[in-house]
Structure 1
Amino acid sequence: MSAKGYFAFPPSSTSRPHPAFIPQPPTTREKFVDNGAPGKGDETRSEEPPNDEERINRLHKERALIEMSEIEWVRGGGVLRDAQGRRDKARTERIRAELKLQEEEKAKLGRWKEYDELWKALVASDEALSFTDIPWPLLTAPSSKDTDVFTLPAISEFLFESLSVRTNTITKKSRIRSSILRWHPDKSSLVVSRVVAEDLDAVREGIHAVFHCLKRLQDDERDNIHTV
């Protein structure tokens, strides 16, 4: 985003420094006066200007610093103003929206990472398990042995929410495939064997419900590819 021509003020009277203006590229060669040598008086000489690539790189770095300063200013509650000192509500709101989106994306990635790490830890352990110990693929973990919560919309929402993150490179097909391998009844038999007796039926039913939803998602994805 370009921050050209903008500066910011705090929302209240504080001593916090204002973000600086973005420097503009020089339009003429820089000169300086050399009065240090006897007899030269006010003789001037031209300083060798930086080449275009160096100048562009320098301006990009300076602009990035200003943009970072503006973002942090808005994050802390500040409001941006334009070069005339007027409140720039539109630009401030754009930065606020971007910050909100970044937080949402961070939360989505965090939920998937936690789920994946819990599964790895569960497989590596040999402790007895209850129904609530299983990392079920849901945004909200079931608090009881209610297997009715394992619906196609609920599982889809969890599996695919992190795929909407702008830096994502994982496809739906890949996510479905890896999930099917994880939840296949044959693959999960070692986990089931560690479940306490009173939760065994609920865990088996839950695994069956999850796997059934994953197979439906796989079929839907295959059908979508064939109809394109």
Structure 2
Amino acid sequence: MGTKGYFAFPPSIPGTSRPYPTSIPQFPDTKETFVDKSTAGKGDETRNEPDKPLHDEERINRLHKERELIETSEIEWVRGGGVLRDAQGRRDKARTERIRAELKLQEEEKTKMNRWREYDERWKALITTSDKTLAFADIPWPLLTAPRGADSFTLPAISEFLFESLSVRNNAVTKKNRIRSSILRWHPDKSSLVVGRVVAEDVDAVREGIHAVFHCLKRLQDDERDHNNTV
């Protein structure tokens, strides 16, 4: 994507005619006592005015909101191909690259989560529509790409699909839980209802695929158990 230019003239803060500051405001230490210079030296009673803490809190909240607006504007500028500038008007390559890296990571995480969500939703639909005849391609196989045959169901390929979404930040699902839920889903006894709906010409391939997936899942479970026992 080509650059649109440099962030030399930042847009105005929404709802105002004030431009965004060229540098992010520094927040004061909330433990600091703020003193009005015009009343300095007039006694401690001036510092302890009842409404003074509220005034300081409002100021801090305003600074926080302005900083959020600045960061949002910078992100959208870089997303569109722009390059940021520092307070002196020089190109800020480091900050621009940090934002680009974050945007790229967000897109990668979104893709991983969407891929798992689609897989999970296809399985739920498969179970709830018990009257639909199935073909090999209708089975939500745990792979990043559609399988071409029994050779596609390898341990690395299944592991990559099952665990990729676990690397997403703020993920709360453990590897152990993902393996356990997958074993329950792919157990040959439970999946027999699915096999019973498969067209005759695909039954053998589906049955073979289910057993291959289940075998890989059991190996992953054993590896995870051995790993935990050695830790």
In the alignment, structure 1 residue 139 sits paired with structure 2 residue 144? yes
Q: Distance in 2 between matches of 1:10 and 1:206?
A: 50
Which residue in the other structure is 1:163 paired with? 166
**Could you say which residue in structure 2 is the equivalent of 1:17?**
11
CA distance in 1, matches of 2:204, 2:57: 68
**Residues 111-148 of structure 1: CA distance to partner in whole angstroms, max 9, x if unpaired?**
00000000000111121101010000000012x4x111
For each residue in 1:155-183, what CA deviation from the matched residue of structure 2 results, as whole angstroms up to 9, or x when unmatched?
Answer: 00000000000021000000000000000
Q: Tell me the TM-score normalized by structure 1.
A: 0.81
| Sequence identity percentage | 76
Tell me how far 1:28 sits from its aligned partner.
Answer: 6.5
Q: Residue type of the partner of 2:179?
A: I
SS in structure 2 at match of 1:218? helix
SS, match of residue 138 in structure 1: coil
Does structure 1 retain, via aligned residues, the 8 Å contact 2:135–2:199?
yes
Structure 2: state its 5+ residue gaps. 13-18, 29-33, 39-50
Question: What is the CA-CA distance between 1:54 and the residue it aligns to?
Answer: 3.1
The equivalent position to 1:107 in structure 2, one of 82, 107, 111, is: 111
Alignment-mate amino acid for residue 79 of structure 1? V
Of the three residues 186, 189, 193, the one matched with 2:192 is 189
Match of 2:132 among 127, 131, 135: 127
Distance 2:7 2:66 in 1: 27
Give 1:62 deviation, angstroms: 1.7
The answer to whether the 8 Å contact 1:81/1:88 transfers is yes
* CA deviation string 1:24-79 (max 9, x = no partner): 56977498xxxxxxxxxxxxxxxx65444333332222211111111011001111
Residues 7 and 84 in structure 2, CA contact (< 8 A), matched pair in contact too = no
Matched ranges for 1:200-219 at <5 A: 200-219=203-222
Q: What 5-or-longer segments of structure 1 have no aligned partner?
A: 1-8, 32-47
